[in-house]
Amino acid sequence: MVDQNTMMFRKETEDNKARGVLLEVCAAMKEKGYNPINQLVGYLSSGDPAYVTSHNDARNKIRALERDEVLEELVRSYLANIPNL
């Protein structure tokens, strides 16, 4: 029998750390002519930091975060723009 209970995911993160890093990394990717959305999807789905430019130390900055921290910030930001949620 399969367990039907919903698992709770709780992760405490530093406020705005992931947001700040994402903004800096996206700016660096744009400066180099990359599409930040495509590059971040590649990085998050594969874990390969080569998807992130080394320009302005963006690769090292994103690697300082756990990928789940990045995902958490992206989901938080997306859901914050949905009314009545």
Predicted local confidence at residue 9, as pLDDT: 66
User: In this structure, what token pair is assigned to residue 54?
Assistant: 């080394």
Q: How confident is the model at residue 72 (pLDDT cuts 50, 70, 90)?
A: very high
Task: Kindly give, in sequence order, each residue whose CB lies less than 8 Å from that of residue 48, ignoring residues fewer than 6 positions away.
Answer: 42
> Is it the case that residue 1 has pLDDT exceeding 90?
no
- Name which of 21, 2, 7 is nearest 67 in CA terms: 21
Report percent pLDDT > 90 for the chain: 75
Pick the range with the lowest mean pLDDT from 15-19, 44-48, 62-66, 68-72: 15-19
Contact (Cβ atoms closer than 8 angstroms) between residue 22 and residue 73: yes
d(CA 76, CA 84): 14
